[in-house]
Structure 1
Amino acid sequence: MRRLNLFAAASALFVSVSALVAQSPSFAPDGTFAGSSLSGWQQVGSAQWSASNGEITGTGTGLLIFNKPAQDSAVYLQFRCEGECNAGIVMRTTKGASGVSGDLLSIRPQELAGYHATFDESGKLAEHTQLRLAGGQIRFAPPPPAAGAPARRFTPPEPLPMPAGAMAPLQRPVHGLRNGEWNDLEVLLDADILRAFFNDGGDAVSVATENMNGYGPFALYVGGGTVHFRAIAYKDIAVKTQPKEQVSPNFHMQRINEFYYGWSAAAADFNHDGKLDIVSGPFIYFGPDFTQSREIYPAQIVNASTNYSMEDWVQHAADFTGDGWPDVVTTSHADGGKTGAVLYVNPKGESRRWEKLTVVAPIDSEETVLADVDKDGKPELVYMGGGYMCYAKPDPSNPTGKWVVHKVSEHGPWPAHGVGAGDVNGDGRIDVVGAYGWWEQPAQNDADTKWIYHPAPFGKWGRTSAGGAKIGVYDINGDGLPDVVTSMQAHGWGISWFEQKKSASGEITFIPHEVMGHLPSESAGGVVFTEPHASTIADVDGDGIPDFVVAKRYWSHLDDFYDPDPYGPPVLYVYRTVRDKKSPGGARFEPELVHNLSGGGSDVLAVDLKGDGNIDLVTSTRSGTYIFWGTRKQKKTGSQ
């Protein structure tokens, strides 16, 4: 993550990213302040400013302006107020006859807000106009509302309450100011939207500046009392960097489509020629070379900058109708979950589009998985819908009609991210796993029986809801007990595995082990990336032990700064499971970069397409659909 120090000409007191303390910004900074001198800063007003070992302290009233101007920029810092807080960050500062003007993020106990502000020569706030609400999943502020109409911005819904008597295993972060304590703050001004994120929570401030053409440096502001600032990092976010393309020597890349139609792929022999084919979005790509394709529903390219593919969020293939021909099911959380699961019926070799039938709705999870939950030899669809963890299956008496839905959980706050299925307790029955824990399948599983809920923190809240992508259940450390591995925030940071412990009485608990955190020092192989929105489990290296495959979704939502580091390289990694008694929990994960310019969508397909014994990976992303052909020559052992 090291970057060239672009502050060098402006201030020798900014050093490389490696000097960051405690927490870190979501962006890779151009530099971070680590000095004991204010050379390179300009003081305005009567405040007393000092610097020591990277910490800047301001007392009184005034501004401290950094001398590197920019138009679109991001600032990260930690701050602590002595007494009542009256502070701020001013972006795009300019000097004029009336003083210093800019866009102010105001930090006060009862107010976190944005203003266009002017400060007089004494550093006092002379004029300020509150900026209207804007933001959410957009880059440019919408036009001002009509006179008298309320200003609005996108606000994610509040989570549902926990079921009666159940304790929440995850706590939502406090988004606002922690008075008297150190606070993390990230401010981004891009185009005409100013966003501020406090303490790794949601966007506490998101406002329209009404001006895309402003230009100037950022400034620290104190309005009275004493305020301490540290870990100050800065980036010119108008500058984007594309790294040199890398493909692992263990894989060969084939790009079979260059456009955004969806976020998933599945494989089956759709035309009964004995070769596996791939379905991704509206197209079947015919094996073995995948150079021919045919649409199963009308294909239309999506503008990935401002829109989502509303149909293919996750795609599955199996013989759902029981006629011997593999069908396709796409699942989508679009339109408030109403899009649901759509069945496309294989026309048995006829060269035409496939019949389309909605079989399950609502589906509110962005991830869905197939698993033979009831051990009838046929896969069921596992998902969250309407506040319930569910699985659904075709009605044998009407295979193209509405599917039979089994609600395994009580009504609760189960998030849209993080779904899995596996035998957690080793009783031979498939359990359902989510970001808030797991649901134990009872010995007698009927439509009216709710499964036993076991809370567990298989996710983490951040700027948006907790949970990752597909959750894996397998014996990671070789002790005979199934463990869990998952990304922690699909729109944030983190990968962890959870070591199962079982008491003499049979009680199951989990010990978390971090695989990837915020910082390289916390992460396997020093690898850190955000938006781990696509994942799967497969024995990629052929050692008999499943591995964890995970990818970053570029932009995560849309082409804006709603999410952390949305423009970072879209990477695809295999985290190889290595059983190692010297590692915490008896195992570790070794990351292997497969590709650094594609990433993933909502899942990763892992399948042996050629039948050569190598696992191949298929991803569908904003830049197209990719096959990464496994080419390993030697298999490694997964134990040490």
Structure 2
Amino acid sequence: MLALDANEGVVAGDVDGDGTIDLVAGRNWFKGGDWAARPLRNIDDWNGYVQSNGDYLFDVNGDGRLDVIAGSFLPTEVFWYENPGDESLRLGKQWPAHLLKDTKKSQNEGQLFEDIDGDGRPEWIVNSWKKDCPMMVYRLVESSSVDAADSSNEKAENETADASDGNAKYTLVGHALGETANGHGVAVGDLNGDGKTDVLVGQGWYQQPESNPWTQPWIFHADWDLHSSLPMIVTDLDQDGDSDIIIGKGHDYGLSWWEQTGVDESTGKLNFEVHEIDSSYSQPHSLAWVDLDGDGNKDLITGKRYYAHNSRDPGGTEPPCLYYYTWDQKTKTFTRHTIDEGHVGCGLQIVAQDLNGDSKVDIAVAGKSGTYLLLAK
């Protein structure tokens, strides 16, 4: 265990530039090797949570060092925390906070930070638990080109780029994929096989336009109504040429994979056959899809988001757990393997990569059962 608080976000990267991977988890960063907690930022406690719903690394000011970008559940601002450099990191100083964007949008479940338009720069993809909230994606736009960017689609959402302080090279410019279709759960992937990255939410999925994705709304397909994980996983699991989905019920029992079986000719909806993976524990809120055991095939990592709703969810007081699942292509089934039971659970993010330089995939998680580092043997 590295720390114990209500923080549920964690990310990995070389923040001090020494060539080793470090961890960032809420209020602290942890130097690779000794893994001692070092201060990063203050976060307010709120109703059993902390007012932060994930950590993301990006060089915001172009100085060659990784900074932290973070949003929150209720506050509408997205802040970036400036990497203070060698001496301040050595002395354990906090990182200066700067406003990156006031989105004017609250009730945010979480976000993804992934490139969905193919320009090599990640987008800030925000998911709301409220079904009728606009589905917003924010582009990282160079500050010098903000005026041109604002002329694209921001009028409908009254989105203008904030003047970020801290000499930021980038700012966030918003685009509403749709005005009233959102809901708990988010994913990105090419769901319909047209070569474009789509966005999945709790109520269905947004189809990326053929061209100019930031000058128009995206077509929404109400193909389901779920209270799902962040993220869901979009992948051709059964290798039949179309995309399937792996979904956890974030606040209930249930982990399943959805086999895409074609398009309903009468309605145009995508058809899926649902296959249960596991229903023995609740709150598989966060999923990771990575080759954990080194056999060349990706594995599913998930576990219980301990006290996700402060014990009010079904099974909310049951012990935390963390598992990985291997996929058998012949039988089209998953087999569960235990990483930990009784101590380690999940929060809102799972790190799965080599963290100590031994070429094996390690795991880091942060949740209300603690921030943990699990090194592969």
**Shorter-chain TM-score range:** 0.7 to 0.9
Q: Distance in 1 between matches of 2:367 and 2:274?
A: 29
User: Which residue of structure 2 aligns with residue 372 of structure 1?
Assistant: 115
Q: Distance in 1 between matches of 2:239 and 2:225?
A: 20
Change over 3 Å in CA distance of 1:333–1:298 after alignment to 2: closer
Q: Contact 1:264–1:315 (CA<8 Å) still a contact in 2? A: yes
Q: Contact 1:548–1:575 (CA<8 Å) still a contact in 2? A: yes
Equivalent residues, number: 342
Kindly report which structure 2 residues correspond to 1:248-327, keeping only aligned pairs within 5 A, or say none.
255-257=1-3, 259-290=4-35, 292-298=36-42, 307-311=48-52, 313-327=53-67
| Paired amino acid for 2:344 | S
Q: Distance in 2 between matches of 1:267 and 1:441?
A: 29
Residue by residue over 1:536-574, the C-alpha shift from the partner in whole angstroms, topping out at 9 and shown as x without a partner, is: 22222233333221121222222x5x3212110111111
Q: Distance in 2 between matches of 1:272 and 1:282?
A: 20
The SS at the match of 2:174 is strand
Q: Distance in 1 between matches of 2:302 and 2:320?
A: 11
Kindly report which structure 2 residues correspond to 1:173-572, keeping only aligned pairs within 5 A, or say none.
255-257=1-3, 259-290=4-35, 292-298=36-42, 307-311=48-52, 313-334=53-74, 338-351=75-88, 352-360=93-101, 361=103, 362-384=105-127, 387-397=133-143, 399=168, 402-412=171-181, 414-415=182-183, 417-457=184-224, 459=226, 466-488=227-249, 490-502=250-262, 509-516=270-277, 523=278, 528-558=280-310, 560=311, 562-572=312-322
Q: Contact 2:353–2:363 (CA<8 Å) still a contact in 1? A: yes
How much does 1:401 deviate? 6.5
CA RMSD of aligned residues (A): 2.4
TM-score normalised over the length of structure 1: 0.50
| Paired amino acid for 1:354 | W
Q: Distance in 1 between matches of 2:202 and 2:42?
A: 35
Change over 3 Å in CA distance of 1:470–1:401 after alignment to 2: same
Q: Distance in 1 between matches of 2:43 and 2:210?
A: 45
Q: Distance in 1 between matches of 2:271 and 2:337?
A: 26
| Paired amino acid for 1:279 | V
2:326 paired residue among 576, 600, 604: 576
| Large movers: runs of 4+ above 6 Å | none
Q: Could you tell me the percent identity over the aligned residues?
A: 29
Change over 3 Å in CA distance of 1:322–1:458 after alignment to 2: farther
Change over 3 Å in CA distance of 1:455–1:515 after alignment to 2: same
| Paired amino acid for 2:309 | H
| Paired amino acid for 1:499 | E
Q: Contact 2:11–2:349 (CA<8 Å) still a contact in 1? A: no
Q: Contact 1:363–1:383 (CA<8 Å) still a contact in 2? A: no
How much does 1:515 deviate? 2.2
How much does 1:503 deviate? 5.5
Change over 3 Å in CA distance of 1:408–1:552 after alignment to 2: same
Q: Distance in 1 between matches of 2:178 and 2:275?
A: 28
Q: Contact 2:58–2:66 (CA<8 Å) still a contact in 1? A: yes
TM-score normalised over the length of structure 2: 0.83
Q: Contact 2:264–2:271 (CA<8 Å) still a contact in 1? A: no
Change over 3 Å in CA distance of 1:359–1:411 after alignment to 2: farther
The SS at the match of 1:332 is coil
Query: What runs of 5+ residues in structure 2 fail to find an aligned partner?
Result: 145-167
Residue by residue over 1:400-423, the C-alpha shift from the partner in whole angstroms, topping out at 9 and shown as x without a partner, is: 6751112112323x22x2111112
| Paired amino acid for 1:573 | Y
Change over 3 Å in CA distance of 1:320–1:431 after alignment to 2: farther
Residue by residue over 1:94-116, the C-alpha shift from the partner in whole angstroms, topping out at 9 and shown as x without a partner, is: xxxxxxxxxxxxxxxxxxxxxxx
Residue by residue over 1:308-335, the C-alpha shift from the partner in whole angstroms, topping out at 9 and shown as x without a partner, is: 1112x2111122333321111122112x
Residue by residue over 1:145-202, the C-alpha shift from the partner in whole angstroms, topping out at 9 and shown as x without a partner, is: xxxxxxxxxxxxxxxxxxxxxxxxxxxxxxxxxxxxxxxxxxxxxxxxxxxxxxxxxx
Q: Contact 1:540–1:546 (CA<8 Å) still a contact in 2? A: yes
Residue by residue over 1:502-545, the C-alpha shift from the partner in whole angstroms, topping out at 9 and shown as x without a partner, is: 4599x6623232324xxxxxx4xxx5011222222222223333
Q: Contact 2:228–2:285 (CA<8 Å) still a contact in 1? A: no
Change over 3 Å in CA distance of 1:353–1:473 after alignment to 2: same
| Paired amino acid for 2:124 | L
Q: Distance in 2 between matches of 1:514 and 1:340?
A: 39
| Paired amino acid for 1:403 | L
Query: What runs of 5+ residues in structure 1 fail to find an aligned partner?
Result: 1-254, 460-465, 517-522, 632-640
Change over 3 Å in CA distance of 1:504–1:568 after alignment to 2: closer
Q: Distance in 1 between matches of 2:62 and 2:170?
A: 13
Q: Contact 2:143–2:171 (CA<8 Å) still a contact in 1? A: no
The SS at the match of 1:620 is strand
User: Which residue of structure 2 aligns with residue 22 of structure 1?
Assistant: none
User: Which residue of structure 2 aligns with residue 604 of structure 1?
Assistant: 350
The SS at the match of 2:49 is coil
Kindly report which structure 2 residues correspond to 1:134-149, keeping only aligned pairs within 5 A, or say none.
none
